[in-house]
Amino acid sequence: LLKVREPALNQLLEYAQRTNKPTGSATTTSGNPIVEKDASLTAGPRGVILFQNYDMVDELAHFDRERIPERVVHAKGAGAFGYFVVTNDITQYTAASVFSAINKRTSIAIRFSAVAGEMGYADSVRDVRGFAIKFYTEDGIWDLVGNNTPLFFVKDPVNFMSFIHVLKRNPVTHLRDPEQFWDYLTLRPESLHQTMIVYTDRGIPDGYRHMHGYGADTFSLLNDQGVLVYCKFHHFTDQGIKNLDPQDAIRIAGEDPDYFTRDLYNSIAAGNYPSWRMFIQVMTQKQALESPFDPFDVSKIWPHADYPLIPVGKFELTRNPDNYFADIEQLAFDPAHLIPGIEPSSDRFIQGRLFAYGDTQRYRLGTNYNQIPVNNNVRVRNFSRDGKFTLHSQNGAPIYHPNSFGGPEPDPRAKALSPEFPIVGNAVRYDNGNDDPYSQPRVLWVRVLDQGEKERMVENIVLGNGLMALRDASDFIQNRAIVNFTNVHPDFGRMVRDKLSAQLQFTAQL
């Protein structure tokens, strides 16, 4: 039986085979043996339940608390464990220990996700996908929290909340709302590039194994000489890019809403380990100063021709979680978890993200979320103690600094690698939304997409095909969208207009 069924269906059979004997006595959460599992303690066969029926109370009370707030974005996801290995020397750019030697291996966890839907949402919807990697390095945790696209819809963190609000449900109707979605996107043309990508074939990958990943934000790297360069991270799938036809995706959403999760689990359980190759793009400070576009603008990519991909390493996923909740739901990413040799940059978005994730983890998982085993693998030495679910005592070390008792001291290597950088300019609220939102989408239209891909993208925009349809927005919003698409390329605007009018005629005939 184990041979013919998919691995995910065999989980319990495997448990029975592995343990090969009964588990032992059942207990309460405090480890006390329980007398009877399938019947409560009652006053006679038909009487009321006695309050001393503690094992039932214990189980009921635990059940009542089995859920925590789901992630405010990226709630539906799947994850696994594996390793990262260095294949190419990039020590000229960074002194980060994770890249210090060829063949060096670091354990990792990855969580893939969809952005917009709730925890029970179908995997095969049209959406951006999250691609978050946790590196368990000797310098502590490094979280590289990216997506399957190299850029983002908006670029100032102050705009992130509005963007997510229009992607999610209208608070009155509790429905996803094409009117609010297309209204906002067309008022912020910086979102054009990412919007186009999401409505191309790549908007519905055929599972998490068949997509690339990108750090998207601009980071700084520091080498051991203290030289700073800017950097983007890219991860290319070894399984090859594969996307779902929108009609198949819609069918799968009904038949198997957990299609991506199942695919990842089964593939790892069958020993068919998915892997990706990591590359970086590097920009010197001089190049950044002279760049015609803002290299710290997350709505833009760095052209590969100008900033070629530099190979770095490979990562592979080799182990499924032991328990989804313990290992993946409690996996807490935070772009502020950085290691010496990797720093943020003046990318506004990464600056905003440095605050938001730790804040949400403290809400979602609690003050001591970093003590949950899956979130840390090194001994923490600091001056914080206590709070809900404290697990570590730090062996009695002083809780203040400075002290005379040999408590922990700042790390000289981290200090040597901490960059000095000038901060220039007057304080100003500059809305960078209109900093050339059209050139890069135009390159996507003219040079990247072939005719078939253009037609499918236009159809997906107009009909939705798994995401919100432009045809469902008001006329004035549709017209504004056409103006924006025309600014990208006149053919794009025309094709969307024609497709919208064809839809109008089609609806009129019904």
Any idea which residues carry the catalytic annotation?
Answer: 74, 147
Least distance in angstroms from the C-beta of 73 to ligand HEM: 5
User: For residues 109 and 470, which CB has a smaller minimum distance to ligand HEM in the complex?
Assistant: 109
User: For residues 72 and 187, which CB has a smaller minimum distance to ligand HEM in the complex?
Assistant: 72
What are the residues facing 82 on neighbouring strands? 108, 317
CA dihedral (149, 349, 109, 16) positive or negative: negative
Q: For the residues of 211-234, what is the DSSP string, one character each?
A: --EE--S-EEEE-TT--EEEEEEE
User: For residues 56 and 133, which CB has a smaller minimum distance to ligand HEM in the complex?
Assistant: 133
Query: How far is residue 303's CA from residue 192's CA, in Å, rounded to a whole number?
Result: 17
Contact pick of 165, 169, 176, 364 for ligand HEM (by CB under 6 A): 364
Q: Considering the rule CB under 6 A, would residue 354 count as an interface residue with ligand HEM?
A: no
Q: Considering the rule CB under 6 A, would residue 74 count as an interface residue with ligand HEM?
A: yes
User: For residues 142 and 485, which CB has a smaller minimum distance to ligand HEM in the complex?
Assistant: 142
CA dihedral (355, 261, 318, 378) positive or negative: positive
Least distance in angstroms from the C-beta of 328 to ligand HEM: 8
Q: Considering the rule CB under 6 A, would residue 353 count as an interface residue with ligand HEM?
A: yes
**HEC sequence for 92-123:** CCCCCHHHCCCCCEEEEEEEEEECCCCCCCCC
Binding to ligand HEM, residues 197-216 (CB under 6 A): 216
Q: Considering the rule CB under 6 A, would residue 111 count as an interface residue with ligand HEM?
A: yes
Residue 69 per-residue DSSP state: P
Among the listed ranges 46-54, 72-80, 414-422, 494-502, the one in contact with ligand HEM (CB under 6 A) is 72-80
Least distance in angstroms from the C-beta of 68 to ligand HEM: 10
Nearest-CB residue for ligand HEM: 130
* Distance, C-alpha 211 to centroid of its chain: 13
Among the listed ranges 68-76, 231-239, 273-281, 473-481, the one in contact with ligand HEM (CB under 6 A) is 68-76
Both tokens of 290, joined, read 């002279």
Binding to ligand HEM, residues 438-477 (CB under 6 A): none
Q: Considering the rule CB under 6 A, would residue 357 count as an interface residue with ligand HEM?
A: yes
Q: Considering the rule CB under 6 A, would residue 193 count as an interface residue with ligand HEM?
A: no
Query: How far is residue 306's CA from residue 319's CA, in Å, rounded to a whole number?
Result: 38
CB 371 within 8 A of CB 387: no
Residue 4 per-residue DSSP state: T
Q: For the residues of 425-494, what is the DSSP string, one character each?
A: S------GGGSS-SHHHHHIIIII--HHHHHHHHHHHHH-TTS--GGGS-HHHHHHHHHHHHHH-HHHHH
Among the listed ranges 247-255, 352-360, 374-382, 485-493, the one in contact with ligand HEM (CB under 6 A) is 352-360
Q: Considering the rule CB under 6 A, would residue 160 count as an interface residue with ligand HEM?
A: yes
For residue 445, the one-letter residue type is: W
Backbone region of residue 352 per phi and psi (left: phi > 0; alpha: psi in -120 to 50; beta: other values): alpha
CB 334 within 8 A of CB 143: yes
Q: Considering the rule CB under 6 A, would residue 276 count as an interface residue with ligand HEM?
A: no
Query: How far is residue 42's CA from residue 53's CA, in Å, rounded to a whole number?
Result: 8
Among the listed ranges 24-32, 94-102, 145-153, 415-423, the one in contact with ligand HEM (CB under 6 A) is 145-153
Is 357 part of any known ligand binding site? yes
CB 127 within 8 A of CB 319: no
Least distance in angstroms from the C-beta of 348 to ligand HEM: 8
Contact pick of 56, 95, 116, 145 for ligand HEM (by CB under 6 A): 145
Q: Considering the rule CB under 6 A, would residue 399 count as an interface residue with ligand HEM?
A: no
User: For residues 124 and 375, which CB has a smaller minimum distance to ligand HEM in the complex?
Assistant: 375
User: For residues 113 and 281, which CB has a smaller minimum distance to ligand HEM in the complex?
Assistant: 113
Q: Considering the rule CB under 6 A, would residue 360 count as an interface residue with ligand HEM?
A: yes
Among the listed ranges 203-211, 354-362, 440-448, 492-500, the one in contact with ligand HEM (CB under 6 A) is 354-362
Backbone region of residue 3 per phi and psi (left: phi > 0; alpha: psi in -120 to 50; beta: other values): alpha
Cα dist. 393→380, 411, 477 in Å?
A: 10, 21, 58
Query: How far is residue 96's CA from residue 116's CA, in Å, rounded to a whole number?
Result: 33
Contact pick of 7, 71, 201, 232 for ligand HEM (by CB under 6 A): 71
Contact pick of 10, 55, 77, 496 for ligand HEM (by CB under 6 A): 77
Annotated binding residues: 357
Interface residues with ligand HEM (CB under 6 A) are 71-74, 77, 111, 113, 130, 132, 145-147, 152, 157, 160, 216-217, 298, 332-333, 349, 352-353, 356-357, 360-361, 364
Annotated binding residues for heme: 357
